[in-house]
Structure 1
């Protein structure tokens, strides 16, 4: 009989019981997904620091997820964006294709703060501009300005971690 198996692998010995306990607890932690270290890092690709962005709304007191829907037959090109309060949690798309949507977000980044920003896209008839404010205290507010011949309809937007959709179409 192998003495190693007898000394370490048998349940009747202290070392055997300890090894079995460690293996059982380790397997349970791995199955639960709570193990620390390199094993957990595998599911996310490594990116440069300037490309890393926080996940929207996870740690922020206030966040706004914006969806701008282009219900026209023309491509829209990113114009400009400004952030008065908070930080960008995801990048704005360079283009919004016909009959599709662009999505991005902002979130608060300080104690008892909110987020406020605006973004615009160029169309053949002028810019489409959307604005949002999700303050720490008070009600959320939204705005949409479109060129003549277009209409904008907003849906959603309440709550601390808001999601708002602007649908823009020709009239």
Structure 2
């Protein structure tokens, strides 16, 4: 493996099977390719290393959701990107992920041999369950959205 390497893990908490649509590297070589499928409540991982003089490794993995009893999520995209440059800071993001899913910044991911762990969840509309959505807002008296301190999130 080169001077820089990255292992990326993706935890699937979406209620769907994630099927790989695409994977690519802008820099580096695969040392372990992303899995074809990541089943619900399972983890998939991939790894790449630098290749050549003064290079890092950068790439994406793109998955689509399927096998969901509720078809609203089927075909929707989850994409994770990472960049471990030869010089400079690491970067990780989930740009390109459908808004029906929530993929926060990963845990870990620093150093020359980095390991970062993403987790993907299905967003739940405010009208379902306990009233909490991806924003953490809750419904107050009369159904008004209120924030953490009971203040209305709707301007009068």
Normalising by structure 2, report the TM-score.
0.69
Quick one: distance in 2 between partners of 1:128 and 1:88? 20
The CA deviation at 1:149 is: 2.3
Report whether the alignment pairs 1:151 with 2:102. yes
**d(CA) in 2 for partners of 1:103 and 1:93?**
7
Count how many residue pairs are aligned between Structure 1 and Structure 2.
113
What aligned pairs does 1:9-20 form with structure 2 within 5 A after superposition? none
- Counting only pairs closer than 5 Å after superposition, residues 20-169 of structure 1 correspond to structure 2 as 59-123=1-65, 124-145=74-95, 146-153=97-104, 154-169=106-121
Quick one: distance in 1 between partners of 2:100 and 2:75? 8
User: Structure 2 unaligned runs (5+)?
Assistant: 66-73, 124-156
Whether the 8 Å CA contact 2:14–2:101 is kept in 1: the answer is no
Higher helix share: 1
Question: 1:103, 1:74 → 2: CA distance?
Answer: 17
Q: In the TM superposition, what is the alpha-carbon distance from 1:125 to its structure 2 partner?
A: 4.8
| Residues in 2 aligned to 1:125 and 1:167: alpha-carbon distance in whole angstroms | 19
Question: Shift of residue 148 of structure 1?
Answer: 1.9
Is the deviation greater in 143-152 or in 67-76?
A: 143-152
- Residue 75 of structure 1 and its aligned partner are, at CA, apart by 0.7
> What is the CA deviation profile of residues 43-62 of structure 1, one whole-angstrom value per residue up to 9, with x for unaligned ones?
xxxxxxxxxxxxxxxx4100
Secondary structure class of the residue paired with 1:165: strand
Runs of 4+ in 1 over 4 A off after TM superposition: none
Deviation per residue, 1:92-150 (Å, 9 max, x gap): 11100001110110100112110011110011151100101100100011111321221
Tell me the distance in 2 between the aligned counterparts of 1:73 and 1:131.
22
Aligned to 1:130, the other structure's residue is in SS state strand
8 A contact 1:64–1:105 mirrored in 2: yes
